[in-house]
Amino acid sequence: MLVFATMRSQTSLYRHRDFRQLWAADTVSQAGTAVTLVALPLVAISVLHATPAQAGLLVACEYLAFLLLGLPAGAWADRYRPRRIMLAGDLGRAVLLGSVPAAAAFGVLSLPQLYAVAFGMSVCTVFFDVAYGGYLPRLVPAEQLTDGNVKLEVTRTIAQVGGPGIGGLLISALTAPFAVLVDALSYLGSAALLARIRTPGQPGTREPGGSLRAEIGAGLRFVFGHRQLRGITLTAALSNLFGTIGFSLLLVLLAGELRLPPVLCGLVFTAEAAGGLIGALLTRRIVARIGERLALSVPVAVSAVLWLLAVPMFQADWRLAVAFVLHGLGWVVFMTFRISSVSYRQRLCPPELLGRMTATVRFVVWGAMPAGAVIGGLLGQWLGVRPALWIGAAGELFAVLPVFLALTAGRRGADAAPVLPRSDNS
């Protein structure tokens, strides 16, 4: 009976028209984004000859809006229908990315333009993601949130598995600036699918006369006033901080120092996405086996060890394959934490605070990434690329501490949160 009930629950989401449109829109968008993940940094490195510090600054610009606009974006998002915000975000990103091949065609492409495009993309993404985080709970029942998040992560990572490799081939065939055009078109496709959703989603309820500052404060109090939620958020922020130190320099190492072709550079992201896909498929089984508390802590530590082992393996010989495998395995494990924490937050949060809760978490978690990128670029410039990679990987080991301490201290606390539904079927 349990298996039948689980199958019926999953089938209902397959038959949920609006969820299918959201699912497809996100998949199309992520496929194009996977191409730009390789193309935009390679435009800076191989076409404009960016230094490690300049490459780090570009990555910082890609996340800067989460730090500058993350908190007010949540309050603003709760005032409007989430679908309209997502549509505006997709269209804005399409226009911004389309400017890169246009400038290249006229021979006027420059690093300042790439910085502006990267920052504009981050502005559109911060509003899109805040609205997106509050939209799924409005489309599907609460008991199906984990199933919906798993489905979104699975197809998102499937799209990302082939995206970087295809990006490398497109760069070889079209050059990096024109490979970005593929991503611009993907955002237009995503917007067309979002426009087909029949449920626009209602804006959150507001107190009469409520100020923007008060609304932001409500989101901050909700996230940081809950022990477990605070611990999970700080763990994700530390992981992003140190992870971005390495990410901002990985392509500099592969394309700049090791002189690897674009196809091989793209494979590191393919390994990451393939690991994420396997991890997403295994998440419900892992949570059912070890419980939610361990699923929110153990994967962070294990993935950090695997990434630390991968650093010395990034070489221009057979060891590169070992590095890709270790990097992918790290994402197999880390995906359990990623999906479990998202479902945890969505179930815990009242509907009227979804936008502000998502924005607060994004502000802290994604806001750590510009700092990590700048730190990584400076460390790469001063100490060298590989020593900076070691620092980033070693720092990941400490990311588990906040969530471990929070879950241990609050094991029987009054603010303990509901657990994930247990299931034998992933």
> Residue ranges of the domains in the chain?
17-197+211-409
Amino acid at site 214: A
pLDDT of residue 6: 41
pLDDT of residue 329: 93
The Cα–Cα gap between 338 and 244 comes to 16
pLDDT of residue 325: 92
pLDDT of residue 119: 92
Pick left, alpha or beta for residue 175 (phi over 0 → left; psi -120 to 50 → alpha; otherwise beta). Answer: left
pTM over 0.75: no
Which of 3.40.50.1370, 1.10.1200.10, 3.40.605.10, 1.20.1250.20 would CATH assign to domain 17-197+211-409? Answer: 1.20.1250.20
pLDDT of residue 410: 55
Best CA proximity match to 43, nearest among 123, 120, 113, 121: 113
pLDDT of residue 159: 65
Amino acid at site 364: V
Total number of residues shown for the chain = 426
The neighbour count for residue 105, using CB atoms within 10 Å, is 11
pLDDT of residue 288: 83
Best CA proximity match to 387, nearest among 237, 240, 245: 245
What are the residue ranges in the chain where pLDDT is below 70? 1-12, 33-34, 37, 77-78, 133-134, 142, 156-173, 200-212, 410-426
For residue 384, what are the contacts with CB-CB under 8 A and spacing of at least 6? none
